[in-house]
Amino acid sequence: MESFKFIDLFSGIGGFHQAMVRLGGECVFASEIDKFCNAQYEKNYGMSSDINIRAVKEEDLPEFQVLCAGFPCQAFSKAGKQEGLEDKTRGTLFFEIVRILKQRHTPYIVLENVRNLVSHDHGNTWRIIQESLRELGYRTTASPLILSPHYFGIPQIRERVIILGKYDPDHIDEPLTLDFGEFKKKEDNSIYDILEEGPVDDSYYISDYEKMVLTAWDEFYNGIDLKVIGFPIWADYFKYTGDFDDLPAWKAGFIKKNIKLYEDNKEFIDKWLDKYDNLAGFTKTHHKMEWQCGTNISSVWDGVIQFRPSGIRVKNPNNFQALVAMVQIPIIGKYRRRLTVEEAARLQSFPVDDKDHPFIPDDNRQQAYKQFGNSVNVEVIRRAAEELFKQ
């Protein structure tokens, strides 16, 4: 399509907006109830998104050809077999999409959701969505379209289901055929592609305490004889002498592996525990370490690190895990610092580096991470919509 108009529902900070504008679209309506997102939308796109979609009458919407929506996932009613699809979806935010489509017969739709939507509520949610779209006259893909930024060389693993639809009631049985070419493999990506090489704001660098803890675990990894560790290291259980009977099998299994690891490496581990005073100065959750890098790297400092409630997790520097309303911002071992807001934006393909129209993130760092975490990846949506518009 050369030029078209679109509406951006549940618009957040405008991930869909970015993608559609890149394809030649013009936004004519946006709806979002989060005040912080509204402020960013206004600032970046010069238009208000401050409206609850439930309060909008479908006939009051301007004319548009594409409906975009990253709608929140909710369970549908299962009551009564005779109940129509409309009744089953009533009250949910998906219903808001249904009632607009019913009136408008919008030529194209681009919806996005978490991958779990497909299995949500034992498949009931997915089935009702598919049936509703079909009833409304939309051709969709034969199977759920799952896409992730890492398929396109963007170093973030974030699998999401993208629902594409073309209004074509006369050919409703013909599934959409899309061709994305060959997807990149996880191992082909590198986090360094989107990272700032030089210094960043001081506040992003890890603390002396964090440095000490990671140095200790790096020494540990390099001191033991095991390089592919298929279980979490639990330092508090190296010398466990308690009962196994009362423990769940998985836990007993991990403890036994930790005891064996300790016994096989007793001389080194005893010295290590001694050096770090039995980890007395470590926060409890930092007594645990999960090495999820196989033998691809040989130092904690070469990995992507997260301080999680379940322990310290080290992963390969090929990709970041999905940014989600990020509480545990990942640490880039090599740079001894956390991912910056600008880098989080790049992971979601927001144009923070664009010279003419850069995207300006929220000044509040926590808000900014959260907004990018809730957003769609712009490039994923752009690619998907580009394929859809070829139909």
Ligand X SMILES: C[S@@+](CC[C@H](N)C(=O)[O-])C[C@H]1O[C@@H](n2cnc3c(N)ncnc32)[C@H](O)[C@@H]1O
Choose which of 93, 226, 259, 279 interacts with ligand X (CB under 6 A): 93
Reduced to 3 states (helix: H, G, I; strand: E, B; else coil), residue 11 is coil
| Annotation says 27 is catalytic | no
Interface residue with ligand X, options 45, 65, 70, 206 (CB under 6 A): 70
Minimum distance from residue 188 beta carbon to ligand X (Å): 26
The residue from 27, 68, 73, 293 that is catalytic is: 73
Stretch near ligand X under the rule CB under 6 A, chosen from 31-39, 134-142, 276-284, 349-357? 31-39
Within 137-265, residue ranges assigned H as helices are 208-223, 249-264
141, amino acid identity: T
**Residue 187, number of CB atoms within 10 A of its CB:** 11
Q: Is 323 in the site for ligand X (CB under 6 A)?
A: no
Closer Cβ to ligand X, 5 or 134, answer by number: 5
For ligand X, the nearest residue by Cβ is 12
- Which of residues 104, 374, 380, 383 is near ligand X by CB under 6 A? 374
Query: In the complex, what is the shortest distance from the CB of residue 200 to ligand X, in angstroms, rounded to a whole number?
Result: 24
Q: Is 52 near ligand X (CB under 6 A)?
A: yes
Q: In whole angstroms, how far apart are CA 246 and each of 236, 252, 348? A: 18, 9, 45
Considering the complex, state which of residue 65 and residue 374 has its C-beta at the smaller distance from ligand X.
374
The only residue of 24, 58, 72, 78 in contact with ligand X, by rule CB under 6 A:
72
- What gap in Å lies between CA 312 and CA 38, rounded to an integer? 36
Cα–Cα distance measured from residue 36 to residue 52, given in angstroms and rounded to the nearest whole number: 14
Is position 145 an interface residue for ligand X (rule: CB under 6 A)? Answer: no
Q: Token pair of 262, please?
A: 């300790």
- Tell me how far CA of residue 179 lies from CA of 142, 149, 162, 165, in angstroms: 13, 16, 14, 15
Which of 7, 21, 32, 160 is close enough to bind ligand X by CB under 6 A?
Answer: 32
Total Cβ atoms within 10 A of residue 141:
18
**Is residue 33 close enough to count as binding ligand X by CB under 6 A?**
yes
Q: Within 13 Å of residue 226, how many CA atoms lie on the same side as its CB?
A: 19
Sign of CA dihedral 119, 123, 126, 130: positive
Q: Number of residues in contact with ligand X, rule: CB under 6 A?
A: 21
- Select the span of 13-21, 154-162, 233-241, 334-342 touching ligand X (CB under 6 A): 13-21
* Structure tokens that stand for 105 in this block: 């017969």
Among 6, 7, 15, 307, binds ligand X (CB under 6 A): 15
- Selected from 6, 7, 16, 347, the binder of ligand X by CB under 6 A is 16
- CA gap 169, 69 in Å, rounded: 21
Amino acid at 217: W
User: Contact between 341 and ligand X (CB under 6 A)?
Assistant: no
Tell me which residues touch ligand X (CB under 6 A). 10-16, 31-34, 37, 52-54, 70, 72, 93, 374-376
Catalytic residues: 73
